[in-house]
């Protein structure tokens, strides 16, 4: 399999291993952050802290993309990982002297959200320079995409095991160490790769005028590529519907419709994670002759899987629909990443990825608002079905608008 070929390259094996551990650390960080803020501020605490971190990521999103294209991307990722380790690592130290305060958790959430806005576009923009050809780039994108999906799949069971002999504040220690491991992996990769766009593609304007010019050029590059432009536009609606339908809807469906316990919800989430992983392995290895068609088909499968989940009030169908919906995620994400990395100028990859990430994040923030509206007036299955139809509709409209592509 192509994944094995990628992992035979020492520098890519290092990078991927660091990112897997970092993704697992992030999962532990999210559990600890949400639980502690709920204990301090009640049920609204989790919503508040998640909103603060997302807002920080949105605020610094396009700036992070600009400097991911201007600066040396290796140094950017190294610096960000070290700063995130220091920020998160202060929390277990503060916990030694008493209960953590909400303002301390909030400050760290702001730092983590804003720093992530610099790391992610730098990583995406670096991948084309780290692989020998487009075939390997596809498999590498599959590997990088699978990291957060592995964390989602195996994180809950590992967290349940660790919490038996670690305090919740020590989950922050695990995350801090994971950032240091990621930084060490990037450091060991060396300096001999093209970690920065060529000087000939960089303009010399600085200050606010230079930032505006960078954004304008990135938007011009997007407008010149219809599939990427459409996907970025549609990503906000997809993220909003996915958040309302899966993140909020599936726990309600498991408890109210299936009359199940947390274990029923866990099985549905596990089925979704398994479908993600299998799809990543396939899409990262199979030839993508028609990437636009595969990308749109993936969104259609996600929407169809949502509808299938609620078609019958039984756990087996819910798990099958979740696994099917999950296969569509990598079908959309991997072809999009490859198009951004190979069909856009290298000096704009970071900015375009940041814009895509910002719009997706904005959709995730709006998801609870859509959920509040849907679940107030519709049954849980009807609301989830509406979310699935929204996702599927973006695919159908994409097929219509991108017929030539």
Mean pLDDT of the chain: 87
Share of the chain above pLDDT 70, in %: 94
Q: How far is CA 122 from CA 16, 147, 215, 370, in A?
A: 15, 17, 16, 32
The structure tokens listed for 86 are 């220091």
Cα separation, 243 vs 306, in Å, equals 12
For residue 238, count CB atoms less than 10 angstroms from its CB and return exposed for 0-12, middle for 13-18, buried for 19 or more.
buried
> Given pLDDT bands bounded at 50, 70 and 90, which one contains residue 208?
low
Span 214-224, mean pLDDT? Answer: 83
Please, which contacts does 173-177 make with residues 24 or more away whose CB atoms are closer than 8 Å? 173/89, 173/92, 174/25, 174/28, 175/25, 175/26, 175/28, 175/29, 175/88, 176/25, 176/84, 176/85, 176/86, 176/88, 176/89, 176/92, 177/25, 177/85
Span 148-161, mean pLDDT? Answer: 74
pTM assigned to the model: 0.83
| pLDDT tens, residue by residue, 385-394 | 999 999 999 9
- The pLDDT value recorded for residue 68 is 84
Cα separation, 61 vs 117, in Å, equals 5
- The pLDDT value recorded for residue 199 is 56
- CB-CB contact of 109 with 56 (8 Å): yes
* DSSP state, residue 348: G
- The pLDDT value recorded for residue 197 is 72
> Given pLDDT bands bounded at 50, 70 and 90, which one contains residue 66?
confident
- CB-CB contact of 109 with 183 (8 Å): no
Cα separation, 199 vs 218, in Å, equals 17
Residue 124 phi, psi (nearest 5): -60, -40
Determine what percent of the chain falls in helix, strand and coil, rounding each to the nearest 5. 85, 0, 15
């Amino acid at each position: 399999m192509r994944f094995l070929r990628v992992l035979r390259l020492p520098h890519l094996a290092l990078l991927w291993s660091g990112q897997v551990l970092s993704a697992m650390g992030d999962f532990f960080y999210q559990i600890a952050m949400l639980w502690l803020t709920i204990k301090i501020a009640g049920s609204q605490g989790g919503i508040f802290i998640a909103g603060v971190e997302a807002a920080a990521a949105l605020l610094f999103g396009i700036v992070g993309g600009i400097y991911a294209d201007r600066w040396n991307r290796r140094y950017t990722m190294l610096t960000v990982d070290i700063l995130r380790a220091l920020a998160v690592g202060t929390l277990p130290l503060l916990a030694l002297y008493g209960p953590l305060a909400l303002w301390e958790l909030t400050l760290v959430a702001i730092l983590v959200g804003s720093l992530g806005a610099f790391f992610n576009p730098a990583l995406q923009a670096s991948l084309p320079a780290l692989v020998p050809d487009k075939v390997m780039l596809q498999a590498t994108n599959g590997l990088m995409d699978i990291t957060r999906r592995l964390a989602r799949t195996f994180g809950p069971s590992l967290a349940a095991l660790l919490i038996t002999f670690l305090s919740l504040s020590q989950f922050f220690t695990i995350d801090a160490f994971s950032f240091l491991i990621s930084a060490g992996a990037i450091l060991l990769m060396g300096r001999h790769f093209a970690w920065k766009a060529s000087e000939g593609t960089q303009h010399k304007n600085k200050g606010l005028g230079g930032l505006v010019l960078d954004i304008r050029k990135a938007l011009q590059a997007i407008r010149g590529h219809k599939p990427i432009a459409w996907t970025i536009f549609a990503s906000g609606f997809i993220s909003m519907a996915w958040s309302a339908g899966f993140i909020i809807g599936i726990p309600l469906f498991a408890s109210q419709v299936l009359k199940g316990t947390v274990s029923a919800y866990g099985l549905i989430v596990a089925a979704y994670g398994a479908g993600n992983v299998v799809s990543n392995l396939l899409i990262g290895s199979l030839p993508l002759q028609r990437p636009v068609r595969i990308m749109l088909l993936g969104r259609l499968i996600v929407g169809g899987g949502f509808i299938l989940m609620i078609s019958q009030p039984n756990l087996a169908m819910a798990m099958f629909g979740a696994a099917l919906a999950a296969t569509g995620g990598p079908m959309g994400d991997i072809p999009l990443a490859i198009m951004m990395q190979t069909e856009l100028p290298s000096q704009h990859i970071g900015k375009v990825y940041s814009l895509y990430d910002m719009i997706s994040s904005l959709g995730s923030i709006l998801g609870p608002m859509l959920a509040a509206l849907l679940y107030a007036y519709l049954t849980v299955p009807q609301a989830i079905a509406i979310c699935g139809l929204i996702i599927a509709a973006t695919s159908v409209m994409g097929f219509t608008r991108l017929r030539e592509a």
